[in-house]
Structure formats: structure tokens, C-alpha cells
Amino acid sequence: MKTVAISIGDLNGIGIQLALQNHHEISKKINPLYCIDNSMLKQAAQKLEIEIPHDFKTVEHIAPHFNIEAGMVSKKSGRYAYASFVHAVNLAKEKKVDAICTLPIHKKAWELAGVDYKGHTDALRDFFDAEAIMMLGCETMYVALFTEHIPLKEVASSINEEDLTRFLLDFYTTAKPTQTVGVLGLNPHAGDDGVLGDEEIRIQRAIDNANLALREAQETVAEPVEAYSDPLVPDVAFTPNVRKHYTHFVAMYHDQGLAPLKALYFDEGINVSLNLPILRTSVDHGTAFDIAYKGIELNSLSYVNAIMYIVKN
């Protein structure tokens, strides 16, 4: 079985409850190593009134201890969450674990703690000096994001032929889709041949570049399948008649891809960081401060799926 470092996320949220309640099941699939020290684990378990499994392996000296405050945005919890994440990454760098799985953080808590990154993916790009790609979804449908956490007004100017070509090449070689990937246009009606915007011209050029490069890299076949589709009309791309032809999509911006994805597969979706020297997965939901430590049964499907992605890859 693979050994997986699990960064514990924001301890004021639901991450630790997910870890404790699912340990018995996931430990049948992997050897989990939880990046939380024993003192903080005991405090959380006591507040949750959950017994700590006897084989729940932890590490020591993560960060200064603090009093867990359910549902609160806290500098101390942000500092601990970031330190837990860094520890997991270092274990992967040192090849002491095979992969990492991250539980949810609170971005404002990271900011209060003086962390310069907006989230895990931003940090991973810096740690490895690599163009990490954010892919979210489940086996039925994955969506990769060309732009991520930037203002909407900056999206159009961020779409250029060179960067998008590189993105498409990196995504295809690391995600390894088995059929054509659907690429979303940016504008309504995918621009209507330039009537509603010219961004699709740049998108099409990048698609053509990537398809040509990937075709030339493949062994000669009679009828090669194109790696990427032409720009799809965004408002129909996720309708059943279109979606059935694709398992992977590339969206030009965050909400364009994630709004339909979460409407369809919110409970089971995961977050995967591609194009890195390590394998990292995550739940695709937040800290859920509103229900943390309230004895509410959690939906664990996203967490379990994040672990299973590691098992299968």
C-alpha cells in the first residue's frame, strides 16, 4: 500500500473530523500519516467526542499549539494549517511518502498568519518551480482551469497563444485522458466567429498548436484522434448531449468550469494538482465552519475519492 501524508487543514473546521471518522476505511487502502501532533489531535478529538483510533499515526512539532475555536477564522489555526501542509510536502520531497492529500484550509486564516499564498496550488508552484495545473472533478467528469483565482476582469487579457499552448500540452501529458478533451470558449456562443469577441481566435491557435505537437509525438496511426476539440460554446458544453462525448474539459476561468461541475458532482468532486514531481489530491470543499464540531454527520465522499485517486495513480 502507498504511504500518504495527510495535511490536516484548518483545525477550526471539519478536516479533523473527516480524518478521524474515515480512518478505519481509508487505512484499508493506504498507510495514512497525519500531519498533526498528538496534543492537538487529543484536543480536537475531545471536542468532537470521537475516540482516536489506535493506529492513527501522527507527527510531532508541527507548529505552536493553540486552543481550537470551532468555526472561527484564526491566525493561529492558519499558521498551523500551513505548517501541516509544508510538513506533508517535505515528506513527499524526501520520498518518505508516496503522495499527499490536503484537507481544507481557510484562505483568510492563512493571510492572517502571514502566508503569502492564496492556497495550496499557488504554494506548490513556488515550492517546485513548476506550472502546477488545477484539475477538479470525479471519474465521470474532470475540469482543468487555465486561469484560477484572479479577478474576472483579468481573464480575457490572460488568454494568450503561448501560455495556453503550454498549458494544453502539460495537461494532456499529465492527466492522460483517453479521449478528446473539450475546450471551452470564453465568450457567449464561443464568440460567434469574432462577432462577440476575438479571444476564441487565440484559443483556437493554441488548440491547433497542441494538437499538432501531440500528433507528431504519437506513433503513426491511420486516423489519429485529436487531443483537443475546437472551442465549445460554454453554455451548452455541459448539457447531456455534449457532455457525453467528453470526460475532461479545459475551462478558461474558475466559475466557468466549476459552477457546472459542482452543480453536477459537488459531493464527489476532488482537487488534483497536475504537472508536479509529487502527487497531491484534496477534497473539493471548504472548512465548513458553520457545522464544525457540532456533531453533524459529514459527507465524506470527496475525501474518500481524493484518497482513491492516489490509490489508482
Place of cell 500500500: 1
Q: Give the bridge partners for 31, in sequence order.
A: 3
Q: Tell whether 54 is in a known binding site.
A: no
248 annotated to a ligand binding site: no
Rounded-to-integer distance, Cα 265 and Cα 118, Å = 24
Q: Is 149 annotated as a binding residue?
A: yes
Q: Is 280 a known ligand-binding residue? A: yes
Q: Is 140 annotated as a binding residue?
A: no
- Determine if residue 65 is labeled as part of a ligand binding site: no
To the question of whether residue 189 is assigned a binding role by annotation, the answer is: yes
Q: Is 285 annotated as a binding residue?
A: no
For cell 484499508, what's the residue? 28
Annotated binding-site members: 120-121, 149, 189, 254, 262, 271, 280
Binding site membership for substrate: which residues?
120-121, 262, 271, 280
**Can you say which residues are annotated as belonging to the binding site for a divalent metal cation?**
149, 189, 254
